[in-house]
Amino acid sequence: MSETEIPLSPTRPYMARAIYEWICDNQLTPYLLVDATQPYTSVPEQFIQDGQIVLNIAPHAVHQFQMTNDAITFSARFGGVSRDIYVPIYAVVGIYARENGQGLFFDPSEYSNIQMPENALESEEQEKTEPETSKKKPNLRLLD
């Protein structure tokens, strides 16, 4: 890479959001295939098989679903127990429709040259735990 080249961000989060939307628009069930061995991945360990877990991320199956460029977060019930799930985007192996298997599986080496921040999970957790009252209230001023 030359000095003038700007490093491009990975395509995975953008493609995952597009496929998720396409699956939901077609009234199919989106499944997320996750490499549960990746750092900072928080999923129910009892459902991990061969280092991977498949999660149903249909809108009716999850709560507080967010898919950002860094992670996929939501809460869901597993065996009747509510769990908060945190999947770093680099741990996403694929996203596909349960009914027909159509979707997208990602190149595992896409994140190999990108240095992961050591405090990625910590900053995410801090954002969640900050009280709402610490945010500045909107201020409206009338001008003559």
Estimate to the nearest angstrom the gap between the alpha carbon of 60 and the chain centroid. 17
How many C-beta atoms surround the C-beta of residue 86 within 10 A? 18
**Helix/strand/coil for 39:** coil
Model confidence pTM above 0.85? no
Give the residue ranges of the chain where pLDDT is below 70.
1-3, 114-144
pLDDT at 123: 47
pLDDT at 115: 62
Q: Which domains does the chain have, with CATH numbers?
A: 9-101 (2.30.30.220)
pLDDT of 17-56, one tens digit each?
A: 999 999 999 999 999 999 999 999 999 999 999 999 999 9
Cα–Cα nearest to 110, from 95, 93, 86: 93
Estimate to the nearest angstrom the gap between the alpha carbon of 128 and the chain centroid. 15
Q: d(Cα 71, Cα 92) in Å, to the nearest integer?
A: 9
Cα–Cα nearest to 42, from 32, 34, 33: 34
Q: d(Cα 53, Cα 35) in Å, to the nearest integer?
A: 7
**Helix/strand/coil for 100:** coil
Q: d(Cα 84, Cα 128) in Å, to the nearest integer?
A: 12
